[in-house]
Amino acid sequence: MLGTNNIHPMEELKGHLRQILKVIPPRTEIYYLDYPVHSNGGDLLIMKGTEAFFRDNDIHVRARYSILDCPLSLKVPEGITIVLHGGGNFGDLYPAHQKLRERMIAQHPNHRIVILPQTMFYKSDIELKKTAQVFNRHKDVHFFVRDTLSYDIASKEFQQTNVYLSPDMAHQLWPLKSKSKPTAEMLYFFRKDIEKTQNQVHYESVSGPKATFKDWETLYNRVDRKIIRMITSRLKSGKGSSFARWLWYKYSDRMVHTAIKEFNQYQTITTSRLHGHILACLLDQQNILLDNSYGKNSNYYAAWTKSNPAGRLESNQTSTYNKPTETGKGASTVVLSDGAAL
């Protein structure tokens, strides 16, 4: 399935990530902060895409910290660029991650700080104004956002910040090759957290007793959860944190492979998870996207994946915020940290 100029739409999105090189050029030395340590496969796909982007573009990661082991007063050497993980946790729904970002900006006024593609959402305008005060005191923050609503808000409120529109970092993983043929028709991959909506109820009521419903938390087993708890405990304590970080990168490769294997079993994915949609698109797999509680999914679809015939937005939903955006071109080979092709 090809887009403009016989280039696949997913290849175009991957190429569009190269604009990040304008603020993190090749051979830049960076600290990569707030990488995820949990069982949310969407964040893991973002992390793997981010690390692939660093490798593919000769960006040198000198240190990595998660929210679990990042010091309250992190000392960053002069000349190092601070790069913060992307995703959908910018705002007041996930305050721990937001506080980490704002602390880094406040503590490092002379460092370049880059926030990789995020979706913004604030329930409270007061909290948004507080964040804007922190950002507007810094002269070298570069903020990539994943949809036009976030872009409009950030451009208005963060007047000292360089704001860019960008697809999600997981697109760097294109293409993911399927090694098996589907054996079942449909997987319902639905979120169960604070971003869940009532749109899922319809599918749950008409799907029948044999339908398969999963989410990231049900995709992984008790052993997975036990290992994650062990790794998080080591990172929090600071005892053996280097080993714990190494183990997590290896184990998270396995978790991503598990998600790919699960998706490969089905002809079609119906999902309310943005990265359920993105993973299916990376696999060039038919998928139907439902919105989340605050329009993140429909906004992202309108901005980036609308032109991809493999996916479609659920017919009763439309985005009220975004317009499709132009994309770039690019290609490279992506491997996991264990060297295995994704």
DSSP per-residue codes, 90-110: EESSSHHHHHHHHHHHHH-TT
The per-residue DSSP string of 2-49 comes to --GGG--HHHHHHHHGGGGGGTS-TT-EEEEE----SS-HHHHHHHHH
Burial class (CB in 10 A: 0-12, 13-18, 19+), 158: buried
Closest residue by Cα to residue 114 from 75, 147, 162: 162
pLDDT for position 41? 94
The per-residue DSSP string of 143-206 comes to EEESSHHHHHHHHHH-TTSEEEE---GGGGGPPPPP-S---EEEEEE---STT--THHHHHHHH
Which residues on adjacent β-strands are paired with residue 213? 188
- Percentage with pLDDT > 90 across the chain: 77
pLDDT for position 292? 81
DSSP structure class, residue 80: P
pLDDT for position 336? 41
Mean pLDDT across 251-266: 95
pLDDT for position 2? 40
pLDDT for position 59? 98
Burial class (CB in 10 A: 0-12, 13-18, 19+), 274: buried
Give residue 204's pLDDT band: very low, low, confident or very high (50, 70, 90). confident
pLDDT for position 197? 67
pLDDT for position 180? 82
pLDDT for position 245? 96
Peptide linkage before 182 cis (omega within 30 of 0): no
- The torsion angles phi and psi of 44, rounded to 5 degrees, stand at -65, -40
The answer, yes or no, to whether residue 71 has pLDDT greater than 90, is yes
Lowest mean pLDDT among 148-162, 186-200, 272-286: 186-200
CA 237 to CA 244: how far, in whole Å?
11
CA 314 to CA 338: how far, in whole Å?
37
Mean pLDDT across 4-16: 89
DSSP structure class, residue 341: B
- Percentage with pLDDT > 70 across the chain: 89
* Digit-coded pLDDT (tens) for 232-258: 999 999 888 899 999 999 999 999 999
**Of the ranges 140-149, 294-303, 331-340, which is most confident?**
140-149
pLDDT for position 201? 73
Crossing angle (nearest 10°) for helices 222-237 and 241-264: 150
> Which residue has better confidence, 337 or 315?
315
Mean pLDDT for all residues in the chain: 88
* Digit-coded pLDDT (tens) for 272-288: 999 999 999 999 999 99
The answer, yes or no, to whether residue 202 has pLDDT greater than 90, is no
Q: Please give the structure tokens belonging to residue 126.
A: 């007061």
Asked if residues 160 and 243 have their Cβ atoms less than 8 Å apart, the reply is no
> Which residue has better confidence, 194 or 131?
131
CA 218 to CA 231: how far, in whole Å?
19
How many residues in the chain?
A: 342
